Amino acid sequence: MQVLFAPLQGYTTGIYRKAHAEIFGGVDAYYAPFLRVENGRPREKDLRDIDDDHNLIAGAKTVPQIIANSVDEFKVLADAIVQKGFTEIDFNMGCPFPMQVSRHRGAGLLSDTQTVKAIMDEIARLTANGSVKFSVKMRLGQGSPDEAFALLPILNDAPLAHITLHPRLGKQQYKGAIDFTAFVRFYEECRHPLVYNGDITSVGQIRKMESGYPKLAGIMIGRGLLARPSLAAEYKAAADASTISERDLLGKILTMHGRLYEHARSTYQGDSQILSHIKSFWEYLEPSIPKKAFKKIKKAGNLGEYDAAVQSLDME
Ligand SMILES: Cc1cc2nc3c(=O)[nH]c(=O)nc-3n(C[C@H](O)[C@H](O)[C@H](O)COP(=O)(O)O)c2cc1C
């Protein structure tokens, strides 16, 4: 099965994706956090973030993602990405952030079959000459799974490369139970290759999904990969290969951190700005590093304290 790195705004930045591809690998495609319209134009900061991704190491591609509340927004964003030379684009119909949902974007679009149909028609137009492919990343609904099932005939008829389903509702955000009953129904009724996304944190869980749902085209992992960046490579390793040792995992985490830290220090100014950017690297890593060092890193108030905290990790 393909392993896809989920987009996480503020975490899986361009520099993170590149460093991860080079140091850990195992990921077939990195999905970039969504690009959106700001003042009628694609947001510059989001565009810059995907600029370097043509240089990702061989075998790992980046798929930019867009979020839109209308065909007009969709066109502006898709055009900007195509102009950059990307041949695959993901469309977000799952973001639960209230700022997006209230503007009728992400999960806020799932109940609007008319707009989704218009966007699917635009996808059909853009894909007609075969130069670009589209996929959709979605939830079951904002308020009810009925929303996804009302949309499914429209999605089934659209020329999509695949659908990624996170079987939660927008109103649940990222917590609460995953609706496996609805997932299984969607799995059975979806005519496109289906990718599962949600709460995957171990190789065992990936294998369980693989054997339980043989038609699955892939698994998309977000927080599980942030917490254990070796997860995709461990799954891809031959079945008899031993998993990475904790020492090697820590060593690679530190190498990756070195790259991101260097980038943060050359990009941002002043301790607090640099710290606020680099600390997000550690946020989900708690399960993979010693507790004491994790706490020290979190508490560090200036670069001196921070450096000492990271060094204490190296000495463990
Ligand atoms: C902080 C944060 C930012 C996210 N940003 C995006 C995003 O830009 N686009 C998107 O499709 N999903 C986004 N997601 C959702 C993730 O891609 C993923 O669907 C979700 O975390 C569930 O998968 P996981 O349990 O493997 O993490 C975000 C999630 C979090 C927690």
The C-alpha atoms of residue 41 and residue 307 are separated, in whole angstroms, by 40
Q: Give the β-pairing of 88-93 and 133-141.
A: parallel
What separation in angstroms does the CA of 279 have from each of 30, 87, 248, 275?
21, 33, 21, 6
How far is Cα 285 from Cα 260, in angstroms, rounded to an integer? Answer: 15
* 316 residues of the chain, pLDDT tens digit each: 999 999 999 999 999 999 999 999 999 999 999 999 999 999 999 998 888 665 556 667 899 999 999 999 999 999 999 999 899 999 999 999 999 999 999 999 999 999 999 999 999 999 999 999 999 999 999 999 999 999 999 999 999 999 999 999 999 999 999 999 999 999 999 999 999 999 999 999 999 999 999 999 999 999 999 999 999 999 999 655 567 888 999 999 999 999 999 999 999 999 999 999 999 999 999 999 999 999 999 999 999 999 999 999 876 5
In DSSP notation, 93-133 reads E----HHHHTTT-GGGGTT-HHHHHHHHHHHHHHHTTSS-E
Is ligand 1 within 6 A of the CB of residue 96? no
The CB of 173 under 6 Å from ligand 1? The reply is no
Atom of ligand 1 nearest to the CA of 199: 25
Q: Residue 6 Cα, ligand 1 centroid: separation in angstroms?
A: 6
| Type of residue numbered 294 | F
Domains and CATH numbers, the chain: 2-236 (3.20.20.70), 246-314 (no CATH)
Ligand 1 neighbour 7 (Cβ under 6 A)? yes
CA distance 149 to 109: 14
Distance 316 CA to ligand 1 centre (A): 32
The answer to whether the beta carbons of residues 98 and 170 sit under 8 Å apart is no
Number of neighbouring beta carbons within 10 Å of residue 242: 7
**Both tokens of residue 207?**
């294998």
Is-contact 84 51, C-beta < 8 A?
A: yes
